[in-house]
Amino acid sequence: MKNILSLFTALLLLLSLSPRAFAEEDAEPEELPPEAYLPELPKIEPVPAPPPEKNALCRLLDENSLSYEVDLASYYLEEMAEAAAAGDAAAGRAAEECRAAALAAGCGGEEIAFDDLYLLARVIDCEAGSDWLPDDFRLCVGEVVLNRVASPEFPDTLREVVYQRGQYNVVNTARFASLAPRRPCVDAALRLLQGERRMVPAVVFQSDSIQGELFTMYADRRLGNTYFCLSERLELYP
């Protein structure tokens, strides 16, 4: 009798279960997308591309917070001087044009014509180009030329002063026409055209004899004496 009651109780329990429960037991498991089975990877932040490599000068500027300004006027003035010493008038005039543009853009410096530099350097070379002569002597020779340009007693341009009849006879020679002045003579001319002076504006004579009031002289055992003299009309020179 006890066994019958146990069987009857089990039958009641089976009948009390929901059909859905059996369906869930027998249903196939739901398929998941493939990525669901992949392990979760850590997030990687993108690495920015390295900047282009800088040259040594750029690195120096960055590290030291320095800034440089190229003085183009001085650069092209040196180009003019080198062209004069090489006797290359075309290169000298091209450098003069570039320098004029630099001056117009705000670079400091005096306006200097290559033709004036070249001509004055050749006169200095003819009068004082020997290598044993001092720079002071070359400066005085060139200064007389520029004093004449500024003087009311002589022509108003350097070319007219140099080619004035009876003054610098050497300019009419074949040697002068093809002369490439030595670099010390170019440097002396350049210093004078930039305003350097050794004498006073009234010194307008250079000669191997005294001509007017003597201002100074240079004695040389090979050349002899060279006298630098004042104009006879000193009232014209303030």
pLDDT of residue 212: 86
Q: Which amino acid is at 105?
A: A
**220 by DSSP, 3-state: which?**
strand
The DSSP-derived string for 166-186 is TT-GGGGSHHHHT----HHHH
Q: What is the pLDDT along the chain (238 residues), one digit of tens a residue?
A: 555 555 555 555 555 544 544 444 555 555 555 555 455 545 555 555 555 554 444 444 445 444 345 688 999 999 999 999 999 999 999 999 999 999 998 888 889 999 999 999 999 999 999 999 999 999 999 999 999 999 999 999 999 999 999 999 999 999 998 999 999 999 999 999 999 999 999 999 999 999 989 999 999 999 899 999 999 999 999 8
Please state, in angstroms and rounded to a whole number, the distance separating the CA atoms of residues 117 and 108.
Answer: 18
Q: At the fourth CATH level, which superfamily is domain 113-236?
A: Cell wall hydrolase SleB, domain 1 (1.10.10.2520)
Q: Measure Cα distances from 122 to 50, 84, 162, 176 in Å.
A: 57, 9, 10, 7
How much of the chain is in helix, strand and coil states, percent to nearest 5?
Answer: 55, 10, 40
Where does the chain show beta strands of DSSP type E?
Answer: 203-207, 214-220, 224-230
Q: How far apart are CA 143 and CA 139, in angstroms?
A: 6
What residue spans define the domains of the chain? 70-112, 113-236
Give the global pTM. Answer: 0.71
The residues that bridge with 214 in the sheet, in sequence order, are 229
